[in-house]
Amino acid sequence: MSAPAPSASPPRIPARAASVPGSGIREIVMLAYGREDVVHLEIGEPDFPTPAHVVAAGDLALATRNRYTPSAGTPSLRAAVAERLHRHYGLSDDPESVVVSQGAVQGLAAVMAVLLEPGDEVLVPDPAWPNYEMQAVLLGARPVRYPLRPERGFRPDPAEVASLITDRTRVLVINSPSNPTGAVLEPALVRALVEAAVERDLVVVSDEVYDQVVFDGVHANAAATAPESVVSVFSFSKTYAMTGSRVGYLTGPSWLLPTVARVQEPLLSSVSAASQASALAALEGPQDVVGLMVDTYRERRDLVVDRLRSAGLEVDAPAGAFYLMLPLADGVDSRLAALDLVRRGVALAPGTAFGDVARSHLRLSLASSAQQLSAGLDRFLDWYGATSGGKR
Ligand code: PLP
């Protein structure tokens, strides 16, 4: 039998999916892809090898128990995560209070899918990691941006956030330490944001994937402030340099978690058994690897901040995560600047990829060697001088 002839116009893709915005970081990544003449400072991914004991545990699981696992995660990993959250943040040590996800990104997507109806509004930082907006749009929800102003050290103003809440707002997304700004929100500020949300019956989705990458101050866990209103989302990706394993986890209200766990089933059945074994080894093994990586990011941060300040640029030293915002001259379109800079041999992520507020900033990733950072800064500062901060 011959195949039916295709119709003249292909089937319609629903607007929800068709309007998911593309990533403005990827444009630069693709342009610079595979180019050895370009210094790569555009990617937010640890440049350290995955610790050997983490790799070995995954290999062993592949050889011995490469099977589906429960959709909320293996009991042993859930128990180890709950124990960690109890020890670090005083949260419940009940394994049932944890759902393991395929990276933080899938955990966030599952939570959003459970909480949002088409037409609902989600408050999202500006600038923010682009995936929150993509996830909301895919669900037919409306992302509403609240500003993280450079002059406030990229911190939100709780009163301004509260003023954006409407009858349709369901979720407030917060992210500390922040990608892309590196800002770490103080405990009092996190509490004020949570209070503003709880007062209007919102759920706070707190992205804490960089909770262990803090240089100054302390990480404030949001779930501890209002366990029945906050979902805190974490990741193994950054802490243990294992982005490819794709393991994250979340904890949240007892009224919400069982549904999130159930939703994991149609979304992914279960996270890779080998990756979960690696994650368990990461938690149970030596933790000095984390400190060593964080110390290295801190040294790189100091090197970059010193260099930029000596060149006369006013930069905020990031207190966490591994990013730094480079200010361009007022009004400069950072996308055009980033395209120009790739031609000059250095790849940086444009602020336009993260929203509107940082449209005249570039994000530099500290996840590159000191040597690479120095070479990248040479090229950036040459360009900066020649163009008066990107104006020409
Ligand atoms: N949240 C933020 C703020 C991130 O920067 C990233 C990765 O870049 C993620 C979540 C996703 O992490 P994962 O690798 O666990 O999916």
The sheet with strand 349-350 has its strands ordered as 323-327, 361-365, 349-350
**pLDDT score of 44:** 87
104 lines ligand 1 (CB under 6 A): yes
Residue 71, φ and ψ in degrees, nearest 5: -70, -20
Compute the average pLDDT of residues 212-222. Answer: 97
Which DSSP state fits 312?
Answer: T
Going by pLDDT thresholds of 50, 70 and 90, the confidence category of residue 9 is confident
349-350 and 361-365 beta bridge pairing: antiparallel
Cβ-proximal residues to 75 (8 Å cutoff; 6+ apart), any chain: 95
Compute the average pLDDT of residues 117-134. Answer: 97
Mean pLDDT (the chain) is: 96
Which candidate, 245, 334, 280, 243, places its Cα nearest to that of 76?
280
Q: Which region among 11-15, 130-134, 371-375 has the lowest average model confidence (pLDDT)?
A: 11-15
CA of 235 to the centre of ligand 1 (A): 7
Going by pLDDT thresholds of 50, 70 and 90, the confidence category of residue 1 is low
**pLDDT score of 126:** 98
182 lines ligand 1 (CB under 6 A): no
237 lines ligand 1 (CB under 6 A): yes
| Domains of the chain by start residue, with CATH | 15-50+288-387 (3.90.1150.10), 52-284 (3.40.640.10)
Question: Could you read off the pLDDT of 293-317 as tens digits, one per residue?
Answer: 999 999 999 999 999 999 999 999 9
Q: Judge contact between 372 and 39, C-beta under 8 A.
A: yes
Tokens 């490819």 — which residue? Answer: 244
**pLDDT score of 11:** 87
- Distance set, CA 171 to CA 112, 131, 250, 255 (Å): 8, 15, 16, 15
Residue to mutate (ligand 1; options 179, 267, 278, 323; most atoms within 8 A of CB): 179
SS3 assignment, position 269: coil
- Distance set, CA 15 to CA 137, 145, 185, 251, 330 (Å): 9, 21, 36, 32, 35
Whether 284 shows a pLDDT value over 90: the answer reads yes
**pLDDT score of 207:** 98
Going by pLDDT thresholds of 50, 70 and 90, the confidence category of residue 2 is low
Going by pLDDT thresholds of 50, 70 and 90, the confidence category of residue 168 is very high
Full-model pTM: 0.96
CA of 233 to the centre of ligand 1 (A): 10
Q: What whole-number distance in Å separates Cα of residue 210 and Cα of residue 148?
A: 18
CA of 373 to the centre of ligand 1 (A): 22
